[in-house]
Chains A and B, each alone.
Chain A
Amino acid sequence: MSLLTTPSQTVGPYLKIGFLRLVIDAIAPAGVPGERITIRGRMSDGEGAPINDGVLEIWQADAQGKYAHPEHGQKTIAANAFRGFGRILTDGGGAFRFTTIKPGPVAGPDGRQQAPHLVVTVFMRGMLRHLITRMYFPDEPLNDTDPVLQRVPVDRRGTLVATAGSERSILEWNVVSQGSTETVFFDF
């Protein structure tokens, strides 16, 4: 016997008032060890129009590949420690930008390591259920054997891998909700 889960409903057009308090676009506080990176991109819809009321929520491990969570051996989380959570709202042109540290590899199914990645939850008006995608890093040898990337059709894997920007510390990654260049979203 189990309870019926509560269904999802859209965040609607006024999500900003509900989500603003917890906006975190600098995910790693000063002093947290790891390679500092900036990620920037744009959210757009099936016609290429900017999504100016979108939200990205980031979940990631630290530079050693550890999640700040009891199921990964971390019983208590100290204030100002690395929580690994970010929330970013898109601007009027659909653009987003955040800073963090590159996570280390995390254990995956069957003992295989997963390539470093950010788990990205996407909300917007017009979405009755939120979506989950992942962002991987360019030039990362583990990408070739990542157990989740391997489930993605080869011709769509590129949508999950950021590209190197003008500087080494800046990565570009876009989220396209629909169409020929649609980002891969997961059934979770």
Chain B
Amino acid sequence: MSKVLGYRRPYFDTQPAHLYPGYRSTIKRAPSKPLVPLPHTLSEVTGPLFGPADLGPNDHDLTAQHEDAPIGERIVVSGRVLDENSKPVANALIELWQANAAGRYRHDIDDHDAPLDPNFTGVGRVLTGADGAYRFLTIKPGAYPWRNHYNAWRPAHLHFSLFGLGLVQRLVTQMYFPHDPLLPYDPMYNSIPNEKARERLISQFDWERTIPDTALAYRFDIVLRGREDTPMETTRS
């Protein structure tokens, strides 16, 4: 019946390589054989969809998930999810997770000698609106050491996981903060060869979205893959 319109392939150098020895864990885990080119069929251009029923009441506000307020600097993190063709991605599920203000995750294997905060879980979820917009209220996470190499420190970051409309739009990434002096030392950030693409991961200070006397704000727009202009293959169903 219909033609399947595929998604555009990533541009050269804009995504990290699978093997990046500066990040030591890639050495035994990255594929060693060539990846097999995959045509975009119905299986790849469709994908799981989510709705308001998937969310809880305080999922967007990581400062309001416990009896008391968490310790740390309150921040608004907001932006829009667009595709490469500048089209808003509506109803995208965003999952966020992060360390607390002291640089410690509420996770059983995090043994960093920094305090946990009983009022901070560090997990949030939202759905984008019709215009692709989303907004979280949270705490600015701390930097933390991670033993990848001598005196290795991760710059402060938020983990983002996104589901678009099609499976091949799926993205897991990290958001960084502007002017972080740790960024030049971070193998994760520097695993992306193209400088302009790398800078997509740095949020911008966002004066207009600050909450007066309450919270500063950072803007983080996210760009997922967009559709091809012309159908790549035909299918019948």
Q: Which residues of B contact A83 (CB under 8 A)?
A: 48-49
How far apart sit A4 and B106, CA to CA, in the bound complex (Å)? 33
List, in ascending order, chain B residues with CB within 8 A of A184's CB: 33, 36
Total A-B residue contacts, Cβ distance less than 8 Å: 248
Q: Select from chain B the residue with minimum beta-carbon distance to A159.
A: B33
Decide: B31 and A182 in contact? CB cutoff 8 A.
Answer: yes
Which residue in chain B gives the minimum CB-CB distance to A114?
A: B41
Q: What separation, in Å, do the CA atoms of A128 and B25 have in the docked complex?
A: 10
**CB <8 Å contact, B97 and A106:** no
Contact A67 B224 (CB under 8 A): no
The listed residue (A11, A21, A128, A131) touching B26 by CB distance below 8 A is A128
Q: Are A117 and B48 in contact (CB under 8 A)?
A: no
* Interface presence of A168 (CB below 8 A): no
Q: Among A5, A85, A119, A123, which residue has its beta carbon within 8 angstroms of that of B197?
A: A5
Complex: chain A residue closest to B31, CB-CB:
A185
Residues of B within 8 A of A36 (CB): none
Residues of A within 8 A of B235 (CB): 107-111
Q: CA–CA, A153 to B41, complex, Å?
A: 20
Number of interface residues of B (CB under 8 A): 85
Known pairs A59-B47, A121-B170; A179 contacts B32 (CB<8 A): yes
**Interface residue SS majority, chain A:** loop
Within the complex, the shortest CB–CB distance from A9 to chain B, in Å, comes to 4
Tell me which residues from 74 to 132 in chain B have a Cβ below 8 Å from any Cβ of chain A. Answer: 82-86, 95-97, 99, 105-107, 109-110, 121-123, 125
**Is the pair B222, A6 in contact by a Cβ cutoff of 8 Å?**
yes
Q: Is B236 an interface residue (CB 8 A)?
A: yes
Contacts of A186 in B (CB 8 A): 35-38
**Which residues of A does B touch, CB under 8 Å?**
2-22, 45-47, 49, 51, 57, 59, 61, 65, 67-69, 71-72, 77, 79, 83-85, 106-111, 114, 117, 119, 121, 123-132, 147-148, 151-153, 156, 177-179, 182, 184-188
